[in-house]
Amino acid sequence: MPHRDPDEFFGVVAARYKQYSPKYPEALFRFLASQTSGKERAWDCGTGSGGQAARGLAPHFNQVIATDASDKQLAIVDPYPGLEFRREPAERSGLDDASVDLLTVAHAVHWFDLDSFYAEARRVLVPGGVIAVWCYEFPMVDRGPIDRLIEELYDAEALASYWPSNRRDVDDGYMHLPFPFQELRTPEFVAEETWPLDSLIGHLRTWQALTDSEDNPEAAGFVAGHLKRIAATWRRGRRARRAVQWKLHLRVGRTPI
């Protein structure tokens, strides 16, 4: 099944990403900042339309450069104190040599040309600089019927051909992703939101398989029916808002000093 060009896909879901992507825990950014010897500049690569990771870095660094290759994503990003947004591909940042203390990529590195991106990371990071990449699992709501329905949607045969091949890297928690840096031990982190049902449904609709299948009446009908089942199960609990969690899979490395 053909997939949208990545820039087209991110343009379609930019507003959804901005509104319905999880915010990362402050403890994550405190930990990352603690691993750097300098606090002059951080680079958040693949920042997206919400810039969630870049915002988390802002209190810890004098300057945060947030880049994305998608015009459509950056067109709707909100200004934020201490952040400078630039349209640049991950593999050619335009940053000076040895000018970055920390480089972060939040749920995006699986889209990059890794060899070229890692070469760029080594070029721009200061000696002993830190690179952190992470992804998150699908959302957990109740450790029960809602979570089972979300997992069934993720694994549905009706949507299998609409997932890009790089989904495997996320499913694997980036564990087998090439990562040519001196790897550091990391704590475990979980993102959490307290959301109404509409926000959970909006988040699920950021999944590429759901977006790419919207023009197929059969697949779209399956998705609509499954989302109704999730909604009905949520409402049976008579709770307007619920805690929604995403486990983060984090890899952190250091360049040679």
The Cα-based distances of 216 to 162, 206, 222, 236 in angstroms read: 11, 17, 10, 30
* Residue keyed to tokens 């250091």: 254
The predicted pLDDT at position 201 comes to 97
How do the residues of the chain divide into helix, strand and coil, expressed in percent and rounded to 5? 40, 25, 35
What average pLDDT does range 226-240 have in this prediction? 93
| Torsion (CA) 195, 43, 137, 218 in degrees, nearest 10 | 80
Question: Using CA atoms, how far apart are residues 73 and 254, in angstroms rounded to an integer?
Answer: 29
pLDDT at residue 231 is higher than 70:
yes
pLDDT of 32: 98
Question: In the structure, what pLDDT confidence band is assigned to residue 154 with cuts at 50, 70 and 90?
Answer: very high
Question: If you average pLDDT over every residue of the chain, what do you get?
Answer: 94
Q: What is the pLDDT of residue 186?
A: 97
Domain residue extents for the chain: 6-254
* pLDDT band, residue 237 (cuts 50/70/90): confident
User: In terms of Cα–Cα distance, which of 5, 66, 59 is closest to 29?
Assistant: 59
The pTM of this model reads: 0.93
| CA distance between the termini of the chain | 46
Instruction: State the architecture of 6-254 in CATH terms.
Output: 3-Layer(aba) Sandwich (3.40)
Q: What is the mean pLDDT of residues 39-68?
A: 96
**Res 10: pLDDT:** 63
Residue 239 has what pLDDT? 85
Query: Distance between CA 197 and CA 1 in Å, rounded?
Result: 30
pLDDT tens sequence across 99-125: 999 999 999 999 999 999 999 999 999
* Of 101, 90, 91, 32, residue with least CA distance to 63: 101
Reading the block at residue 164, the tokens are 């890009």
Other Cβ atoms closer than 10 A to 11: 18
Distance, in Å, from the CA atom of 152 to the CA atom of 245, rounded to the nearest integer, reads 17
pLDDT value at residue 5: 54
What local confidence, expressed as pLDDT, does residue 2 receive? 46
According to the model, what pLDDT value does residue 238 have?
81
Residue pLDDT, tens place only, 124-148: 999 999 999 999 999 999 999 999 9
Give the pLDDT of residue 1: 47
Region 61-85: what's the mean pLDDT? 94
Q: Are 140 and 203 in contact (CB under 8 A)?
A: no
